[in-house]
Structure 1
Amino acid sequence: MPAYHSTFLSDPASNERLVGNFSLLPLKTKFRGPAYPSDSDYDIIDEVLDLFRANSFFKNFEIKGPADRVLIYGILFVSDCLSKISPSTSASEATKILTNLSLENFAIPGDGNFPLNSLYQPPRDRSEHDLLKGYLTQFRQELSARLIQRIYVESQSTPSKYWLAFTRRRFMNKSL
């Protein structure tokens, strides 16, 4: 059974804004950043959250386009977020933890300590580097906020055991 790929691969508008081979897809977000606002109800962050649990079982993933690279990055970030949350963490504590995680200094493609440099092309110049850094910051903030909404849907005091069961899974045997 093959892994699930991004539905935004067939969208010609999604491939217009590229930094290296990373697609800057539109987002439905309340956070400031360089991402274009999404017109649809379903964006790449919804797709990352929908496909995370299914794709986390796969050790191999064939990249079919720039949108798949965004999906890979998102799945690995969700995995990092889940590893920071314990079964006794409340929603307010999780919000603080994941907000700090999404805003902390992180590596982007092309940096020496980025673990997936073999899959991503580096930005061409400083302006592309800043654009990608801003996009990924906005992407991480929105993804962590929506992840908290999904994890704490039943109770604000304890996270869903069905999400925390995936803390030990490593998609593609990688982590950010």
Structure 2
Amino acid sequence: MAILGAESSGKSTLAAALAERLDTVWVPEYLREFVEKEGRVPVAADQFLIASTQVAREREAAGRAKRVLVCDTTPLMTVLYSRHYFDGEDVQLAALAAATRYDLTLVTAPDTPWVADGLQRESEAVRQQVYQLLLGELAARQIPHHILHGTLAQRMAQAMPLIERAIANA
């Protein structure tokens, strides 16, 4: 399952909590590691590397997952940020995003406090813009999704029935 959302919307917190509740593994967002390791924000030429590393880590973690693999972001978010910051995505990134599928897509609404973290997060205004871009892209690609609102506990309560249903239908 994929957890998508704009910056500072609680994706990582939710992913970790869901993995713990489901007694499974989760794949953290590689972008965060990239920024910490490189000490800079990514440039256009880094986007495919970031997305492909994310997918490679998902494939590796799938063998350790129990019933469900929780993925904190997908190549689709890399596409959106590439469009936002670099006026488009390259062919490889677009193809990767189109080829990567998830059985369940959860979207974290930007209704939690925005928190700056130095290099990676820009502003509340950008968070809202990216959220709207995400909703538009999910609609354009006809990707079914569920928007989760509120506190972590509220999001967990909204997510668990959706996850159980997806597991039962798999």
TM-score when normalising by structure 1: 0.29
Between Structure 1 and Structure 2, which shows a larger proportion of strand residues? 2
TM-score by length of 2: 0.30
